[in-house]
Amino acid sequence: MRLGLAFARSWAIACVLAGLVPAVAFASGGGESGLISLDKSLIIQAVNFLILLVLLTKLLYKPLLAKMDERTQAIQKSLDEAQAARADARKERDEFAAKIQAAHAEAQGIRATALKDAADEQRRLVDAARAEAARLVASARQEMDQDVRRARQELRQEVADLAIAVSERLIKKSLNDADHRRVVDDAIARMGQKN
């Protein structure tokens, strides 16, 4: 409404300055006694001014107001779209941050799982190596026990062979029965001491 009054005033001033409406009539000594001349031209000019004002209002002022309203709505729409875009950007940024945080947490979980798996694998390998070492030690002990038994057996065999050889030599020398018994007893006694 203020814009409409300001527009009307500015048109009125422009018309007065252009000479369409004689605002003040100066007394020029022609016998007129007032400042304003009230003849019929003033009424015609006032009617012309009102017609001009109506035409200008319909042709210029209303389209100008419509354009200004349209521009205001376009600006408001742009502002609303900018706010919506800002809200969408903020939402996407928050979603992206949440995804990054979830990926970071997942990576930490994978790392922890990998470290646990590596520790379990290391423990398993150490246990397997210990078991293998124990098996090898047991196998070596078994072989050593077998070698000792074999060596004892061979020693007994050699002692027996030696006893037989000694006996044969003594027999060949024609020992009597007493000498023969003493030799066999000595051989048996020696065999018993070695074991």
What pLDDT sits at residue 184? Answer: 76
Single-letter amino acid, residue 104 = H
Q: Cβ of 182: how many Cβ atoms within 10 Å?
A: 13
Residue 12's Cβ-count burial label (10 Å; 0-12, 13-18, 19+) is middle
Contact 46, 36 (CB under 8 A): no
CA–centroid distance for 22 within its chain = 82
Q: Phi, psi at residue 33, to the nearest 5°?
A: -110, -5
- Proportion of the chain in helix, strand, coil states, percent, rounded to 5: 85, 0, 15
d(CA 107, CA 116): 14
Q: Residue 21: is it exposed, middle or buried by C-beta count within 10 angstroms (0-12/13-18/19+)?
A: middle
Per-residue confidence (pLDDT) for residue 135, from 0 to 100: 92
Question: Could you say which residues of the chain have pLDDT below 50?
Answer: 21-33
What are the pLDDT digits (tens) for 86-134?
999 999 999 999 999 999 999 999 999 999 999 999 999 999 999 999 9
